[in-house]
Structure 1
């Protein structure tokens, strides 16, 4: 079954259909949500071996020019200028009120800054970046590139057979590599990173080489195809926010519990403090969170075995509405109902109790530390 005319196809669309994927609309694309083995099996396979995810709906772009780092730093509260060549960093694109337009990843490649943004936001992101800093550097979208993620504890074993040297990378570093499929050599740019909490790689490849690369990876005994359903359950267990659900223009980095991404050099007293959209508001929130913001993203575990889904109302123990769940499901690894949501600061401390209202019933939940499942990033 092909996509409706209104949906775009990723370069591997025909492969997904051949593999029996159930295709769903996502970020304007027809995307594989799961394969015949099902979401739980795909989730557990990624945790134990290696899963191949097609994330070609994501946006890829290059920022080029001697002023590119300083220009990009004017848009995000993150240290871009001092990022060493080959290193990757997580960033937050902000509006003038300090709200999050998107979260993203970027790498200093020496010749450019390579940026990956969310699929649903990429058109607006690229237009925003072009409008704000296009006079200071070249902003070059890369629609000709596909993006694959190989995730799991055996990802390095599988990929290093085809691209020797990748095993030397550590978490949040990257480089150019050649993948030997046995019949051809494929040039890729990859980073040791991902969105599952597991070790793994995100691989940018020309769309014309995506099928050969995917087939070579799927030929490895450790690797199976994994859909967006398991990607969502894996990232939630890892405590990673999903843009549009857990963070958006109505939340700041501090409210979203993402202040760890703001380096000291960009904070009050730092050498390059402020200078980004919403800096005054965010600086105030960093200095005095309790006075400056009334809510915070927290991890929640249900104390009864009842899954709590997104948009479920949260109440305090007095029965007053205090917020809602932004992501939630039965965690396949932890085997408990887990969720993220926003609660008032007085209920954000670990151990705090709230109730989720599921079909009229109050389900007790406890605020817990994230990630829900320990991460397995390879740091050397």
Structure 2
């Protein structure tokens, strides 16, 4: 929009400010009128005499206009010097001369009046032109002031927009920095948790490995101990079997010796055989059983069938009847029952005194489970 359109766009200004449309229309009419006056003044200057007289003219434009600037003081115009009176010329007739002089004077007065009227018109035109210039200058200053105000307003709006953009950018930057910081903290926290989980997993795996190694070691030790126990048991079994074989040989030898003694008529020749219900009828076997039985601590299970497990021991005695040793000559097949019987024999010390009054060097004791 050019300056003319901005200045005379009365429709747009009328919407923004009431009464502005009439003011601008009146100002436009005033400018046109003053332009015409300036044109007339220029024409008057070109046709005015050298010494015009002062003339005042008042013109009023229709509509509301801005107040005119105070008219500047006009310098006093120099009055034209009176033209020198013409030299009197001799005339033949005084009346004709007087008439001619009056006509000349009238012509001169008429020219002087016309010159004064033209000068007054020119002065008035000049004054009006100055008023129009003052109004135009005032209108230009108003327009410049409005433009300056608009530029200042636009500048303020631009600065406010720039400030808002800066604040927005600063907020976005701060939000971005906060987001990056939060992401970094989250990543560090996740990394620490992962490292902690990895360390715990490694520690757990190490503990499990150590436990497995300990279990394997313990199992190996147990297997070794079991193997050693089995080997010891085998050795003990072999020793017991050897001892049983030896005891069997000794028993056979003793039996043969007893038979020989009995055949020879020596009393108590069979007192050392079958002391638990077998051999002899003098009641000594019952005494031995009564002595051994309280020391046999074993829960006898219900009998199943006709089987009657029997543990046979050779008991070595001192001359006073004290038990010096007990050897298993035949197992019942139940080690716990064998041990209980052995403990009962050891608890029966000294043994009951034989009917003959003299203790033999050993007595073979057979202890049956269900007798």
- Fold-level similarity (TM above 0.5): no
Q: Larger relative CO (CA 8 A, sep 6+): 1 or 2?
A: 1
More helix as a share of residues: 2
Which entry has the higher C-alpha Rg, 1 or 2?
A: 2
Is the strand fraction higher in 1 or 2?
A: 1
TM (norm. structure 2) is 0.18
